């Protein structure tokens, strides 16, 4: 599908001179029976303004063989005499996507649409000018498919939505993978984080619905092959979701988004285990719970601070973790008519509060593979996972006057308490890449959550899982109230020292490519509901950032 190329060639198209003022692009065609045909078309209609200016208006239509066409959407007018005649079309699509962004259910401030209704045209115009028609085409396909999602699924008859999912989205689902990151990365950097969140939450909502349909067998083999887990070593794998890395003001920043159902499934258990140990609010069947869990998206931001020091005979590159933010959000639309006294609403809210939680994060950073200019790599220490508290009490013995019986009795006592932190941080090395590895552990048993599997012993299962029931409440919780986790640099074992590389002095004045990547594990254990469903999933991202080795006046 190459809609953008067709649009760009319209002004010079010879078909305009055949007497017709409209041309159509067939988006998809489906034959439910041998006697009927359904299709979705993009139509361009040419009009002449009073000043002899030619303009185009685009529309999306749903047609059936034996009935009239139904207009689903109409664009604003595009004046062909302008330098960028189709810039208004792109801006309209982007703005209409933002205005329909789903909410993060646990946040009242996510994607403030009232402040994002008008995108500035300058960044979009710059993207149009700086990218070739071929590279911009994938970006346009993505935003066009996204706008069609809201039209066909929410604003059109049910048969239009079915046709969109089956014949249009499924064959082009790869558009929503990291394969098409370059233009989307440029767009996000140009428009800012608020707009980025709006788009990625819209993409996540679309993909969540698509993956649910795949689960129930609504799509063919094409969708299943795109979303099935691939081996980590497969370089041709483009998982659904998006990630990109940038260098900005002394920071390397990696951002990643992934629908939970599109992540690689590491552990999946569905057995009647520890039911009698769960304090539950209400009973629920696993399919209902899984449907609620399917509308989730992982949003990760990994920030590493770096510094370059020019020494006599070598260059020292330092890096430390500045911030790691992991959030698991629930995508949907808030019900403004919610009644707290309605039992059905209360049950639904409990289900909506069920979510996966981060159980491990692994970040690596280092030079490109095969770099021969690295002279050495120094690591910081791993964090001490044990915290001991010593309590001492001393009482003296004595008597008053000449009494033989002591009036004061005393004793000495010492108490030692050992506390295990929820998160254990290690530093390691693989080749010339430094690794920061954070692992969530049960603070009673010390067992790693991401690799834990329930056993046949119900009591052991209860001791493990019970420590994470009501895990978003209380002063000793390992997560934020919204279900995420935030790490600062001093928590990750690096401190001010972090890690360091010594580079050859010959590299001075060059701009190197540095690798940055991350793996995140998400685990689900029942929280407020009674269920036998357990789950652990993993996603991996990797990208390159710039490392400028250019001395400044202060060096």
More confident residue, 448 or 453: 448
**Biggest CA pair distance of the chain:** 128
Q: pLDDT tens digit string along 102-144?
A: 876 555 555 445 445 578 889 899 999 888 888 898 899 999 9
Q: What is the structure's pLDDT at 304? A: 94
Which of 295-304, 317-326, 405-414 is least confident? 405-414
Is-contact 340 346, C-beta < 8 A? yes
Percent of the chain with pLDDT over 90: 28
Which has the higher per-residue pLDDT, 393 or 171? 171
**pLDDT-derived band of residue 4, with 50, 70 and 90 as boundaries?**
very high
Q: Which residue has the higher pLDDT, 511 or 552?
A: 511
At residue 255, the pLDDT reads 95
CA distance 536 to 456: 19
- In terms of average pLDDT, the best of 27-36, 173-182, 270-279, 541-550 is 541-550
461 pLDDT band (50/70/90 cuts)?
Answer: low
Burial class (CB in 10 A: 0-12, 13-18, 19+), 457: exposed
Reading the block at residue 507, the tokens are 């590299």
Structure tokens, 288: 């209902």
Phi and psi, residue 270, nearest 5°:
-140, 75
197-230 CB burial, b ≥16 within 10 A, e <16? bbbbbbbbbbbbbbbebbeeeebeeebeebbeee
Mean pLDDT of the chain: 78
Radius of gyration of the chain, Cα coordinates, nearest whole angstrom: 29
> How sure is the predictor about 235, in pLDDT bands with cuts at 50, 70 and 90?
very low
Number of helices and strands in the chain (H, E): 11, 21
Residue 87 has pLDDT above 70, yes or no: yes
How high is the pLDDT of residue 234? 35
Q: Is 342 helix (H, G, I), strand (E, B) or coil?
A: coil
Q: Which pLDDT score is estimated for 393?
A: 64
pTM of the entire predicted model: 0.83
Residue 253 CB neighbour total at 10 angstroms: 18
- Give dist(CA 525, CA 530) in Å, integer: 10
Helix (H, G, I), strand (E, B) or coil at 525: coil
pLDDT grade, residue 146 (50/70/90)? very high
| Average pLDDT rounded to a whole number, residues 185-208 | 90
Place of tokens 């649910």: 212
For 285, the token pair is: 């069947």
pLDDT one-digit tens code per residue, 243-276: 999 998 899 999 999 999 889 888 654 444 444 4
Helix, strand, or coil (residue 550):
coil
Query: Residue 103 has what pLDDT?
Result: 73
What is the enclosing helix (H) or strand (E) of 66? Answer: none
Which one, of 56, 46, 55, 50, lies nearest residue 21 by Cα? 46
pLDDT in tens, 215-228: 776 544 334 433 33
Q: Is the pLDDT of residue 431 over 80?
A: yes
3-state secondary structure of 338: coil
**DSSP-derived 3-state class of residue 160:** helix
- The pLDDT of residue 256 is 94
Task: State the average pLDDT over residues 366-377.
Answer: 86
For residue 478, the SS3 value is coil
- pLDDT at 86 > cutoff 90: yes
pLDDT of 382 over the 90 cut? no
**What's the full length of the chain, in residues?**
555
Q: How confident is the model at residue 392 (pLDDT cuts 50, 70, 90)?
A: low
- The answer to whether 525 touches 361, Cβ cutoff 8 Å, is no
Q: What is the pLDDT of residue 30?
A: 72
DSSP letters for 345-359: HHHHHHHHH---EEE
CB 293 within 8 A of CB 408: no
């Amino acid at each position: 599908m190459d809609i953008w190329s067709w649009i760009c060639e319209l002004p010079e198209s010879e078909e305009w001179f055949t007497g017709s003022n409209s041309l159509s692009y067939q988006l998809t065609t489906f034959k439910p029976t041998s006697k009927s045909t359904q299709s979705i078309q993009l139509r361009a209609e040419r009009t002449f303004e009073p000043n002899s200016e030619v303009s185009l208006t685009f529309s999306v239509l749903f047609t059936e063989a034996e009935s009239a066409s139904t207009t689903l959407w109409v664009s604003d007018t595009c004046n062909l005499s302008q330098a960028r005649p189709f810039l208004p079309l792109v801006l309209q699509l982007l703005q209409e996507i933002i205005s329909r962004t789903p909410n993060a259910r646990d946040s009242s401030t996510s994607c403030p649409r009232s402040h994002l209704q008008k995108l500035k045209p300058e960044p979009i115009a710059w993207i149009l000018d700086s990218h070739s028609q071929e590279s911009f085409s994938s970006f346009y396909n993505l935003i066009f498919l996204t706008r069609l999602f809201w039209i066909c699924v929410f604003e059109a008859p049910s048969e239009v939505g079915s046709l969109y999912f089956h014949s249009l989205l499924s064959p082009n689902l790869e558009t929503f993978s990291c394969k098409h990151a370059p233009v989307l990365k440029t767009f996000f950097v140009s428009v800012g984080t608020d707009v980025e969140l709006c788009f990625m939450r819209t993409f996540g909502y679309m993909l969540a619905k698509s993956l649910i349909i795949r689960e129930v067998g609504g799509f063919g083999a094409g969708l299943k092959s795109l979303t099935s887990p691939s081996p980590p070593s497969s370089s041709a794998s483009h998982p659904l979701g998006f990630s990109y890395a940038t260098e900005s003001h002394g920071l390397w920043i990696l951002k990643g988004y992934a629908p939970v159902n599109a992540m690689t499934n590491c552990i999946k258990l569905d057995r009647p285990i520890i039911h009698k140990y769960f304090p539950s609010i209400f009973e629920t069947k696993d399919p209902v719970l899984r449907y609620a869990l399917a509308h989730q998206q992982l949003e990760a931001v990994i920030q590493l601070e770096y510094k370059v020091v020019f020494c006599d005979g070598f260059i020292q590159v330092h890096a430390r973790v500045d911030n790691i933010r992991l959030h698991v959000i629930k995508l949907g639309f808030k019900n403004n008519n919610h009644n707290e006294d309605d039992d059905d609403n209360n049950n639904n809210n409990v289900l909506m509060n069920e979510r996966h939680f981060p159980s491990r994060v692994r970040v690596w950073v280092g030079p490109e593979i095969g770099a021969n200019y690295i002279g050495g790599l120094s690591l910081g220490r791993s964090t001490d996972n044990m915290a001991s508290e010593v309590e001492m009490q001393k009482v003296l013995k004595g008597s008053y006057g000449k009494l033989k019986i002591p009036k004061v009795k005393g004793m000495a006592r010492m108490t030692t308490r050992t506390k295990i932190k929820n998160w254990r941080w290690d530093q390691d090395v693989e080749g010339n890449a430094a690794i920061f590895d954070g692992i969530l552990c049960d603070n009673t048993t010390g067992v790693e959550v991401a690799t834990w599997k329930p056993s046949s012993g119900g009591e052991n299962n209860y001791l493990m899982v019970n420590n994470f029931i009501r895990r978003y409440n209380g002063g000793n919780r390992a997560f934020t109230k919204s279900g995420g986790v935030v790490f600062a640099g001093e928590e990750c074992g690096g401190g001010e020292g972090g890690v360091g590389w010594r580079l050859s002095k010959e590299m001075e004045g060059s701009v190197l490519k540095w690798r940055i990547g991350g793996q995140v594990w998400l685990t689900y254990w029942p929280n407020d509901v009674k269920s036998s469903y357990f789950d652990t999933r993993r996603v991996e991202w990797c990208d390159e950032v710039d490392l400028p080795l250019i001395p400044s006046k202060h060096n």
